[in-house]
Structure 1
């Protein structure tokens, strides 16, 4: 009998590979159309689990999937996860898929970069490292998937949950699950959550489990005059009640307790060498006034120390001893403020360190949720002058900041004062329109052909001078000049003279800018008339009209006062035919006024005053703000009409 042989069918290699490939997932077609509208990327999943193991350890796992729709969303295809001596990274995995959800590539270990923070020289003493992965593709849409786990022995900080961290990013699904021992109850604050997204809380044995779920969050537009995104998208902020860092136990349930932990951690580290104490006492012996003694100590600090960053384990919160700074001449914000406090004590001026959330344009901390919301340390001396409180604040990391000035970096917010009795939440200096001033005098000299020259002197004080103080102290004159030239919105000009000069020491720092310009063809005659806009340097642009319904509140973060006086010097034989009518605006957003006059010598004087308020207003106020800016822009373009005698 003849045996039957098996039949072998040769399949193409592509078919064999297809059979072995995993099933597609995360296809772009599965994203609801409404979520793609106005979005550059869609978070398909952001599933996070926080497991509190003890008062000194927690584990944070993250699984995040993002579909990048266009090149604007490409940054979301990269990830950087930091770790240090107190936070270990267990794993980092990743994959990328095409538009149909087919696997294109799995992240290999060799593709993950591991770099130390501060390798560019910006930090000097740190154990922080970052693992980076980059799965960007040449063209969208595509989907990236990342997974990682952090084991943290620093329970002062719990992870926050805010899946929508950028404008133009929608969220299809996200979840947060927190598991904690019943003996360590979770503290949390829900912010901007949509209806139905409140916490689900159960007790399972001796564990408490909390869970939040978010679905179908449309992309948030980038809107003018909007609060920071952290105040606009759904978030859950977590914090411990009790915590422990390298054997140092504390509580964050109250500001008093959090401040007490920080104060105790640094207690006894303010002892100076006897020679340093003697030096300070000799330096201030002729000054009976406490503020004058503090000023001299601050000058000593600025002339003998420099700032470095220290992020070594507990060193993120525990300072170098003052004696170390005295001998080395350097330290971070904690060490330099602690050192300055010791110097002031030697000068007979009591002071306290204060924790602050620093950053220009940053929103104030949430005073109703005690937690570590800080990234900087400054010094506060509660002085009394002539029987009245005269609190002094000192930024101890800068060699150039003015004595007693906080500015946009740490002003207009709250700080946590560290006292022997614990933490006390207090306000840092407030800077309003009276302090944040820009006062300009400009003289414009027109010739008969329509060309002109101009000189301008601009005094900036308070927060208005912050940027220019940085230019003055950090850049040389050529780079200062280039910065100014690049921002002069004039059609044709030559900057013939330029300087920046700090004003003499006073209650507020100031910077004076002097300019001289040549302006060929500035106002060529048009028939028998010449049309001139005297507002050469202070025009405020109008804002684009709101597209669609406004989503955000109107947030005006700083109050300022701009005062301009322009004198227009006319060539012989010319006189004004028409001067613009005065303008007067008074609104919830600020005030604006202009006036024109012909002076006895024939010079035309233009005076402009704009005061902007610091405010947070409902989104319904935005049309009014648009109208205010439009009217200012229109008035700023007003023209003086000149005619020549006998024309």
Structure 2
């Protein structure tokens, strides 16, 4: 079962009183001094004991119970003294209990029913969302102390089985954690073990008419965060589980492959793409005379964006079954399923065949070798059947501003489950690599005799590099856009004299142009007869610390990219360059880097920096080489131009 931590807002609303006295008997439990020193090292908290049991009652019903005791060592571990248990129309919380123990292991407080708060977990954009949470806060003012929570959730949504992550965060040690799954003999468990310590593999037994699967881990030391590492849940032990058969509100399915999961989802939504005749007629008229298939798709997509908006509707089976296309046509809104289904229907009216696709958005890619429900979003895949060259158009149907045929960092570079009449099929969404993700900057810097400067800067960003700036442009007023940009400028003293974000005209991926004017007081103050100035205006990279001991995690970089900076430096006649940085050129497995500065015929200095990082994953054994690559870049980026005064 996934561990849910209280949102900041919920925590702020839960104010528990101070601890004053022991409650009940004096039998110690979880004394802090019994903790081995190895588990305290680098830890903010230690899981003393965790027992999770997941019982499959039938294809339509499961019961999950949790008992978890955590010793909180300091303020940074205080979140572990809170618990948020999710429930909705398909999930019911049977009970939620909690106990606080002092350092000696004596009970000092027990959670009362009046202490448990009930909250709507609406995301703020849902028209209807039955998600709620029961929240408890047992944080204490002094450390250390131990909290123990117990709860049970009965679910009529067995499409999702538990995933066991006994060590879900850095700086969290684990003394003991166990996971048990009980299933009927005719419903064998599907599971995948990941990174389990030696001796922790499944113990599988049969007890009467049930199968019992059990895992245990002990004495896992806290892990520290490492630079450029994957999420901690990709590094620590885990067991994924999934059903072979399930039933959600009368809709039965099997989950033995991606094909069967896709078939259930496709059948659940079949026949819900009928459009009103008036809308059909509008689409036919919209594309009339347009022979190019891609152009017809674009016209339909722009119609969708102009006439609908995204509003989430999550009630019961509505998490998987779309509202009919006729409902979206009448109301002008829908969730991701409904808007994608509606766009599919509009394209069908335009004589274009499209398929809905499930995807896990804004998170790491799914585990492709373990068919299971790992998705949280729906997009549209449109094969170009009539194109001379095989190609595919992808559409994000929930956004009124996302560019045509662009998935971005939200859903690009990952797998999706295509929903077809023949069932599900895993395919890849578009890849955005070094050719698409570019940042090209040109700047002119004018320095006066007192060392003050002005700068005009034009930055073109494309592909994933422009995603954040596109969000700024479409969601914030210009004044707020300017403030956000100012917050990340690397100058101690500056004023923005000009600012504008403008969508670019890149043909293959969207782009954004940022025009910036700056005044930079005291940018290069004179030091006697000399002036020292960094030619690298905005693109300095920092070095990384060497690994302490053996590197644990592989190197995971966010995205491949290419950066280019051309900076022209204009100085008054009384300054002449005395010393220029040595040109640097690096070619490594991690990428390539070059920087050089030269004097142009008119006396202007021109600095050119190029950085290409085409690969994003490296083995942990390569970390020392990566650190050296970053160190050399950092040193080159800090190199200064030295000017000398000639008019004194």
Q: For this structure pair, what is the TM-score category when the shorter chain's length is used for normalisation? A: over 0.9
CA distance in 1, matches of 2:610, 2:33: 55
Task: Report 1:165-180 matches (<5 A).
Answer: 165-180=168-183
SS at match of 2:167: coil
Deviations 1:555-602 (A, max 9, x none): 113101110000011212322222211111111211111121111111
The answer on whether the counterparts of 1:556 and 1:613 sit within 8 Å (CA) in structure 2 is no
Cα deviation, residue 527, structure 1: 2.2
1:10 equivalent in structure 2: none
* 1:334 and 2:321 correspond: no
* 1:495 and 2:496 correspond: yes
Task: Report 1:83-98 matches (<5 A).
Answer: 83-98=87-102
2:119 equivalent in structure 1: 115
Task: Report 1:618-633 matches (<5 A).
Answer: 618-633=619-634
Long gaps (5+) in structure 1: 1-16
Q: Which of 41, 48, 69 is residue 44 of structure 1 equivalent to?
A: 48
CA distance in 2, matches of 1:88, 1:41: 29
SS at match of 1:124: strand
The answer on whether the counterparts of 1:436 and 1:560 sit within 8 Å (CA) in structure 2 is yes
Deviations 1:81-136 (A, max 9, x none): 11111111111111111111111110011111111121x63322111111110001
Q: Which of 11, 26, 33 is residue 37 of structure 2 equivalent to?
A: 33
SS at match of 1:431: coil
* Cα gap change, 1:520 to 1:138, in 2 (>3 Å): same
**Larger gyration radius, structure 1 or structure 2:** 1
* 1:367 and 2:371 correspond: no
Moved over 4 A (4+): 17-20
Cα deviation, residue 216, structure 1: 0.4
1:533 equivalent in structure 2: 534
CA distance in 2, matches of 1:57, 1:315: 18
Task: Report 1:503-514 matches (<5 A).
Answer: 503-504=504-505, 506-514=507-515
SS at match of 1:286: coil
* 1:129 and 2:154 correspond: no
Instruction: Report the more deviating stretch, 318-327 or 634-643.
Output: 634-643
Deviations 1:327-378 (A, max 9, x none): 001100000000000001111111000000000xx32111110001100000
The answer on whether the counterparts of 1:557 and 1:614 sit within 8 Å (CA) in structure 2 is no
* 1:242 and 2:245 correspond: yes
* Cα gap change, 1:30 to 1:39, in 2 (>3 Å): same
Task: Report 1:294-443 matches (<5 A).
Answer: 294-359=297-362, 362-384=363-385, 386-443=387-444
Task: Report 1:166-245 matches (<5 A).
Answer: 166-245=169-248
Cα deviation, residue 390, structure 1: 1.4
CA distance in 1, matches of 2:125, 2:135: 19
CA distance in 1, matches of 2:460, 2:386: 29
Q: CA RMSD in A?
A: 1.4
CA distance in 2, matches of 1:124, 1:624: 51
CA distance in 1, matches of 2:263, 2:132: 30
Instruction: Report the more deviating stretch, 571-580 or 463-472.
Output: 571-580
CA distance in 1, matches of 2:26, 2:239: 35
SS at match of 1:478: helix
1:63 equivalent in structure 2: 67
Q: Which of 102, 106, 122 is residue 102 of structure 1 equivalent to?
A: 106
Cα deviation, residue 384, structure 1: 4.4
The answer on whether the counterparts of 1:443 and 1:454 sit within 8 Å (CA) in structure 2 is yes
2:645 equivalent in structure 1: 644
Cα deviation, residue 385, structure 1: 6.3
Cα deviation, residue 646, structure 1: 5.6
CA distance in 1, matches of 2:387, 2:396: 25
CA distance in 2, matches of 1:19, 1:388: 75
Cα deviation, residue 636, structure 1: 0.4
The answer on whether the counterparts of 1:117 and 1:123 sit within 8 Å (CA) in structure 2 is no
SS at match of 1:565: strand
CA distance in 1, matches of 2:432, 2:183: 43
2:556 equivalent in structure 1: 555
SS at match of 1:636: helix
1:8 equivalent in structure 2: none
SS at match of 1:571: coil
SS at match of 1:292: helix
The answer on whether the counterparts of 2:23 and 2:108 sit within 8 Å (CA) in structure 1 is no
1:5 equivalent in structure 2: none
Task: Report 1:463-482 matches (<5 A).
Answer: 463-482=464-483
Cα deviation, residue 643, structure 1: 2.2
1:446 equivalent in structure 2: 447
Equivalences, count? 628
CA distance in 1, matches of 2:140, 2:590: 45
CA distance in 1, matches of 2:386, 2:610: 35
Q: Which of 143, 152, 156 is residue 155 of structure 2 equivalent to?
A: 152
The answer on whether the counterparts of 2:176 and 2:217 sit within 8 Å (CA) in structure 1 is yes
2:599 equivalent in structure 1: 598
2:86 equivalent in structure 1: 82
1:571 equivalent in structure 2: 572
The answer on whether the counterparts of 1:442 and 1:456 sit within 8 Å (CA) in structure 2 is yes
The answer on whether the counterparts of 2:22 and 2:106 sit within 8 Å (CA) in structure 1 is no
Cα deviation, residue 645, structure 1: 3.3
The answer on whether the counterparts of 2:298 and 2:404 sit within 8 Å (CA) in structure 1 is yes
* Cα gap change, 1:20 to 1:194, in 2 (>3 Å): closer
CA distance in 2, matches of 1:468, 1:646: 45
SS at match of 1:610: strand
CA distance in 1, matches of 2:23, 2:35: 26
SS at match of 2:339: helix
The answer on whether the counterparts of 2:22 and 2:107 sit within 8 Å (CA) in structure 1 is no
CA distance in 2, matches of 1:68, 1:366: 33
CA distance in 1, matches of 2:118, 2:26: 30
The answer on whether the counterparts of 1:126 and 1:309 sit within 8 Å (CA) in structure 2 is yes
* Cα gap change, 1:258 to 1:19, in 2 (>3 Å): closer
CA distance in 1, matches of 2:492, 2:448: 18
CA distance in 1, matches of 2:80, 2:500: 43
SS at match of 2:516: strand
CA distance in 2, matches of 1:184, 1:22: 45
* 1:140 and 2:130 correspond: no
